[in-house]
């Protein structure tokens, strides 16, 4: 992936690179019940809500027809792995994310596969926007299928024509050390595993400055 310092880019250029692009958000939120959790785990999403909302609002600026949201979930009745909502706006976001019953551990491969399949199907049909897509994964713990996730992303890079058409940004909620290790490995070692492009950027939510959200989104494509 080409490295471009956002500090050297004019605001208008950043806007051009991030507009005319679809934005998909995956909430890989896990439940607080069922297994032992570290102190503060139950509060991490509530504390992060304002920051998450600001990030979604910034995506909405560039994708005004509404973003696509996937929720990793656990339905006691149907055993579903995820739910999909289209054309979500910041005004109904909280209602959407509170409608799901999160799993004890994120099964990320299934939901990310669905999001990537949807992108490449629309690309084949000529229905993607000119600049491509950014997928943001909001995650609080290590996924149960980490190797499958890495293989899935690697395979996706071989369906791409250019390195900036698709970027996947993992935003970690909280400070789970196992999750951090997994995300750093994805960020730093993807091309070493045979990926065609380095399309992954990871960041702790707490380190994303409110006045630098556009720069963060840009880093998903060019860092």
Domain ranges for the chain, please list them.
Answer: 6-222
Indicate the DSSP class of residue 140.
-
Q: Which CATH number fits domain 6-222: 3.40.50.410, 3.40.120.10, 3.30.930.10, 3.40.50.150?
A: 3.40.50.410
Question: How many Cα atoms sit within 13 Å of 172 on the Cβ side?
Answer: 22
CA distance 173 to 79: 25
pLDDT at 2 over 90: no
CA distance 199 to 164: 8
**DSSP assignment of 151-193, as one string?**
HHHHHHHTT-SSTTSEEEEEEE-S--HHHHHHHHHHHHHTGGG
Helices (H), ranges, 98-142:
108-124
Q: Read off the pLDDT of residues 32-74 as tens digits, 9 standing for 90 and up.
A: 555 555 555 556 677 788 888 999 999 999 999 999 999 877 6
Q: Which two tokens stand for residue 186?
A: 């994805």
pTM across the whole model: 0.87
């Amino acid at each position: 992936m080409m490295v471009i310092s956002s500090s050297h880019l004019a605001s208008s250029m950043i806007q051009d690179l991030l507009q005319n692009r679809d934005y998909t958000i995956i909430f890989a939120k896990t439940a607080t019940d069922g297994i032992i959790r570290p102190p503060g785990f139950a509060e991490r999403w509530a504390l992060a809500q304002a920051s998450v909302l600001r990030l979604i609002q910034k995506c909405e600026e560039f994708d005004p027809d509404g973003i696509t949201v996937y929720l990793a979930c656990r339905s006691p009745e149907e055993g579903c792995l995820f739910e999909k909502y289209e054309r979500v706006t910041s005004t109904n976001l909280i209602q959407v994310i509170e409608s799901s019953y999160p799993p004890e551990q994120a099964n990320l491969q299934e939901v990310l596969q669905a999001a990537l399949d949807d992108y490449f199907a629309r690309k084949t049909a000529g229905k993607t926007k000119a600049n491509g897509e950014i997928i943001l994964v909001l995650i609080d713990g290590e996924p149960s299928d980490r190797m499958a996730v890495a293989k899935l992303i690697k395979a996706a890079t071989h369906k791409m024509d250019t390195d900036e058409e698709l970027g996947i940004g993992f935003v970690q909620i909280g400070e789970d050390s196992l999750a951090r290790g997994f995300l750093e490995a994805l960020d730093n070692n993807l091309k070493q595993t045979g990926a065609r492009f380095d399309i992954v950027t990871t960041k702790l939510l707490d380190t994303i400055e409110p006045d630098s959200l556009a720069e963060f989104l840009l880093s998903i494509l060019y860092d």
